Amino acid sequence: MPLLTQDQARELLKKVLAYSKADECEVNISFGQNANIRYARNAVSTSGSIGQSSLVVSSAYGKKLGIATINEFDDASLEKVVRRSEELAQLAPENPEYMPMLGPQQYAASSKTWDEGTAAIDAKYRADAVEQSLKISKDSGLTAAGFLEDSRGFSAMMNSKGLFAYNTNTRVNFNVTVRTEDGKGSGYASKGFTDVSKLDVAAATSVAAQKAKGSAEARAIEPGKYTVILEPAAAIVLLENLLYSMDARSADEGRSFLSKPGGTTRLGEKLMDERVTIYSDPQNPELPTAPWNGDGRPQEKVTWIDKGSIRNLPYSRFWAQKKGVKAVPFPDGFIMEGGSQSLEQLIAGTEKGVLVTRLWYIREVDPQSLLLTGLTRDGTFYIENGKIKFPIKNFRFNESPVIMLNNLDALGIPQRTVSGESNSHALIPPMRIRDFTFSSLSDAV
């Protein structure tokens, strides 16, 4: 299927809704063309391109909901998928948590989630990008493994109550790991943008190459509590676990780090350093995201953590109604306010500490305190008197992002970064943290 314009999408969705006989009907349509190239051992390994489209029809009779999907768009198929969703709704048990569909919504003007340059990326662009990256690794006598992926698509929805939403999006992600030939050094860089003109594959590869060379001959230092500087690619994997564990219902039910004795929650409480402010804003020019979410709710600017206090929790529509509060959805990306220092200035201002490039294999150990574990990877260095002194062996950490953000020491300038665990994007500053808990050493490079 081609990428539909707003008018084309509206016409198609109207046509689907015209087939509906249910009490309520909602149609979501999406299309994405995703392409990628992968390389390792200084040569290309796999590459592919796949286009996927999906039309999802939700039909409801009373509190009985049926959902059917299809990826063919001729009239007969459209009618068939509506009928199938209606049959499934008739067969479904009544859902006591069913929420009537939303009426027309006001969305902010579409943020800049689409870029023509990104949409035009082709096989030659991808191969050229890999060639640039490989030139740097080969010229330095290093070995690179990396991945470039790009996507373009649109999504739209309409329902029988008059709601209509439409958005287009592009994204490009590039990440690379450069290693020394003897396997003793490894460096990493990761970038992601809506607008491909901001992507500099050579610069990212050079950073990874420098870290690879600089991290060989790592020394072991004792595990324990250290001042750390987390680069944005390291911080994002901890912060995303914090943000996505803030669900209001879990907190109210008593099974989240935000639950308190007696059935109350920590909403409104100050849990972190007052320099910690985390919000989401679909209109942010550095991290534009869709102005609506998958169930049609507007995505607005929301402050989640305000000067260290828990300000807002995300709600499902059912739970918000039950609690009589506004149904604020989970955000598509998040932004943490920073300071004015560069990473270099943060290092220069550190008496003794550890610079962390990347954290890996993050898993929740205890949902009650949000204790997480994982390891440093691809460039870990010891800092003394404001200078990087020597590379150190990797550590396992056991730390809660709540405790970590309480021990905040300094913040740098936020940058758009991509999670190496979930692929989600955020705008995050590098940060210096006191007393970060490393619990054991790892021999991994």
Partner 1 sequence: MKRRDFLYFSGLGAAGSILPGFTTMGNIIRPEQALEPGIDVAQKKRLADVALNAARSKGATYTDVRIGRYLNQFVVTREEKVENIVNTESFGMGIRVIANGSWGFAATDQLDNDSIAKAAAMAVSIAKENARLLKEPVQLAPQKGYGEVSWKTPIEKNAFEVPIKEKVDLLLGVSDAAMKAGANYITSLLFLVNEQKYFASTDGSYIEQDIHRIWPAFFITKIDAATGKFETRNSLSAPSGMGYEYLSAKPQDKIKSVTTLYKKSYDMLEDARLAGAQAGEKLKAKSVEPGKYDLILDPSHLWLTIHESVGHPTELDRVLGYEANFAGTSFLTLDKWQTKKFNFGNKLVNIKADRLQPGSLGAMGYDDEGVKCGQWDLIKDGVLVNYQVIRDQAHILGLNASQGCCYADSWSSVQFQRMPNVSLQPGREKKSIDDLIKGVEKGIYIIGDGSFSIDQQRYNFQFGGQLFYEIKNGKIAGMLKDVAYQSNTQEFWNSCAGIADESDYRLGGAFGDGKGQPMQSNAVSHGSATTHFKNVNVINTARKIG
For residues 194-233, which are near partner 1 according to CB under 8 A?
Answer: none
Q: C-beta of 413: minimal distance to partner 1 in Å?
A: 26
Contact, 162 vs 232, CB < 8 A?
no
Selection from 139, 145, 137, 143 nearest residue 44 by Cα = 145
Q: C-beta of 86: minimal distance to partner 1 in Å?
A: 11
Q: What is the CA radius of gyration of the chain?
A: 24
Q: Among 105-113, 169-177, 282-290, 347-355, which window interacts with partner 1 (CB under 8 A)?
A: 169-177
Compute how many residues bind partner 1; rule: CB under 8 A.
103
Distance CA 179, CA 177 (A): 7
Q: C-beta of 350: minimal distance to partner 1 in Å?
A: 25
Kindly give the pairing relationship between strand 352-366 and strand 224-230. parallel
Distance CA 27, CA 24 (A): 10
The contact pattern for partner 1, residues 285-324, with x = CB under 8 A and - = no contact, is ---------x---------------------x-xx-----
Write the DSSP string, 183-222.
Answer: SS-EEEEEEEESSGGG--HHHHHHHHHHHHHHHSSPBP--
Q: Among 107-115, 231-239, 252-260, 381-389, which window interacts with partner 1 (CB under 8 A)?
A: 252-260
Helix-helix angle 6-18:75-91, to 10 degrees: 50
Q: Which is nearer to partner 1, 55 or 410 (CB)?
A: 55
Q: Which residues between 10 and 49 bind partner 1 (CB under 8 A)?
A: 34, 36-49
Q: C-beta of 61: minimal distance to partner 1 in Å?
A: 16
Contact, 392 vs 438, CB < 8 A?
no
Q: Which residues between 82 and 111 bind partner 1 (CB under 8 A)?
A: 84, 87-88, 92-93, 95-97
Q: Which is nearer to partner 1, 51 or 117 (CB)?
A: 51
Contact, 178 vs 144, CB < 8 A?
yes
Distances (CA, A) of 393 to 177, 211, 264, 379, 390: 17, 13, 43, 9, 10
Q: C-beta of 340: minimal distance to partner 1 in Å?
A: 29
Q: Which residues between 145 and 164 bind partner 1 (CB under 8 A)?
A: 145-147, 149
Q: C-beta of 235: minimal distance to partner 1 in Å?
A: 18
Q: Among 9-17, 162-170, 199-207, 243-251, which window interacts with partner 1 (CB under 8 A)?
A: 243-251
Residue 202 Cα to chain centre, angstroms: 24
Q: Which residues between 255 and 274 bind partner 1 (CB under 8 A)?
A: 255-257, 259-263, 266, 269, 271
The contact pattern for partner 1, residues 363-402, with x = CB under 8 A and - = no contact, is xxxxxxxxx-xxx-x----------------x-x-x-x-x
